[in-house]
Every structure is written in structure tokens, then in C-alpha cells.
Amino acid sequence: MQTIPCITVSTAAPLVENKAAVMRPMAGERPAPESPVRIGVALGGGFARGIAHAGVLKVLEQHRIPIHCITGISAGSIVAAAYASGATPEEIARAGCSMRFCDVGRWSIPRLGLVGSQRMNRFPERLLKTYRFEEMRIPLGVLATDLSTGGPVPFAGTGSVFDPIRASCSYPGLFQPVRHHGQLLVDGTMSMGVPAALARQLGATHVISVPLPAAVPGALPSNVFQVVNRCFQILQSRFEDSWRTETDLVIAPDVRGVDWNAFGRGPRLIHAGEAAALAALPKIQEWFTRVQSFAAQGGFLPSETVMESMSGARENACSLSTFSQNGSTSSWPLREGWAR
């Protein structure tokens, strides 16, 4: 299989290629056929900054970029589930801009977190068009973290999406962990910054990762939540390679300096997502041009077959059994959603 270099796109910097080598045929050797282009979009977390994801999806949809599957962590899991269910980027943006912290949490004095998250189900109930993995328009993956082992706990295939989303959004210390089959599950961001590998497991040949970097370097936190948030950001930056190795293109909206609960800055966040996605469009369109060119030379499937493969086929979603950070078989099973 051809190795595609990872490209990073943001609104603050030009395209930057990494140093990954591209496998090329030997002299006189026929190039190996490329797989049909099946794009997986992996959305990172960021609470209010997750509104930027709606801007990214809006641009991809406007330019008729077909999405095979979508995965999400934390706030990204809400956006991913909404989009997979059939909600439009505009509907997601409106819901995000009108959202407030009280819509998803209730202050309490428990042992394991300051905020109860049972109320969190109400928000996706209003936004999603359907509530089960097997009913989604395209394959959906949601990632949480096992608080005991620190390992990722991915959900896909069948079952209710509500509690997997609630687990993926349960920021440690703020939201109470979610209990599931004897485990305590917390925010997926604790084990994986962006669920790129999960998109690959759901059948994507090309993975677009959308992280939401928040901190302005050198900016000092002004409250306890910003202190905790900054600590986690530092930790997450140490294992970025775990998701970048599974990523073909990184779209990083410029959301630096936007607080975790700044829902009132929704229009700016949407614009940041749109700008970053527009900057990435030429690279995405190049993937399709390359496949069509190869097909025209008789080296690949007819373009009609290619397009059929990009129409959101779900056959891979229910047949997965493992998940890993590097593409190899691991001990982390892909979970089905909560039975309801």
C-alpha cells in the first residue's frame, strides 16, 4: 500500500510536509494500484472550541468531499455523532453557539467529580437525528478512556450512542466518570488526542485529523480550570505522534486563546474551522485527482466503482474486533454502544 505523507494545515501557517517517505515503484515496475479514496474525519476535543468542527464539515460538504466515516473524542464525539446521524453542519453550528455549560452538567459534591453528567444526554437528544450506531448515515466511532488502565475504549457498530458520548466527554476532575461493565470511563482525550486510528479501523483509506489547539504559548492560566486544562494539554502534546502516524492530513483551526467554555465566540470558531478547511481543500482534491488519473491509465477500478466505494458504505463498522494506536492488533477491543 502506498504511504501518503502527513500534511499539516492550519490558518496560521502554510502547508508543512513531514519527513515520511513515499513508497515509489522500482524502475520498470508497474505502480501498485491505489485503494479507492475513503475519507475518514477524526475530530478532537475542546469543549466550546468543538464548534469549529462545524466549520470544517461545512466546507467539506459545500465542496462535495465525500466522507466515508467519522470519529470523535470529547466535544468532537458530539459533533461526529450529530453529523453521522444526518444533522447538517449548520444545525450543529446553531446548537453549539446556543449551548451553555448548564445544558450538559449540574454542579454537585460527589467523590469523583464536581459535575454530574447525566444531563449531558439531553443535548445530543435534541441534535441527533437517530440515536444508535447501526442507524447512522455513515459509520461512527466514539472514543473514551479506561481510568484504570489509561487505555482507549472505542465504541462503534451497534447500540446507543448516548453513554459512549457521555463517557468520552467526562473530563477528569470536572465531570464524574461513567461506569460501564466494571470500568470507570473518562474523556477520550486522556488516551488519544485525535481518534485517527479509529477512523482507519472503520475503513478509511485517507484520514483527516482535526485537533483543536487552544493554549497561546506563554499565556498564564487565570483560574483553577485553566490550570488543570493546561496541564492536560502539556501531557497530550507529548504523545501527538500516536495519532499523527495514522493521519494523512491535519486541519488545525486557529482557536488559540479561546477558553474551554467560550460558547459566545461561536461565530469566530466556525470561521476558524472554515478557513482551515478551505486551506486544505487542494490537498484533499488531489487525492481524488490522483485516483482518477490512475484509472484513466487503466491502472485501477473504473471511476464509477471508486465513487460507489465513497458513498458511506457501512460494511466495516460491525466487523471490527480490535483497535490500536499504530495499526497493529492490540488488546483493546472495539466496544458496541450501550444496549437500550
Which of the residues 187, 248, 254, 309 is marked catalytic? Answer: 187
Largest CA distance in the chain: 70
Q: Which helix (H) or strand (E) holds 289?
A: helix 266-296
d(CA 265, CA 325): 33
Handedness of CA 7, 13, 19, 22 (dihedral sign): positive
* Catalytic choice (74, 77, 85, 168): 74
Q: What does the DSSP assignment read for 68-133?
A: SEEEEETHHHHHHHHHHHT--HHHHHHHHHH--GGGT-EE---SSEEEE-GGGGHHHHHH-S--BG
Q: Is 187 a catalytic residue?
A: yes
C-alpha 290: how far from chain center:
25
Distance in angstroms (rounded) separating the CA atoms of residues 187 and 184: 10
241 in active site: no
Q: What positions carry a catalytic annotation? A: 74, 187
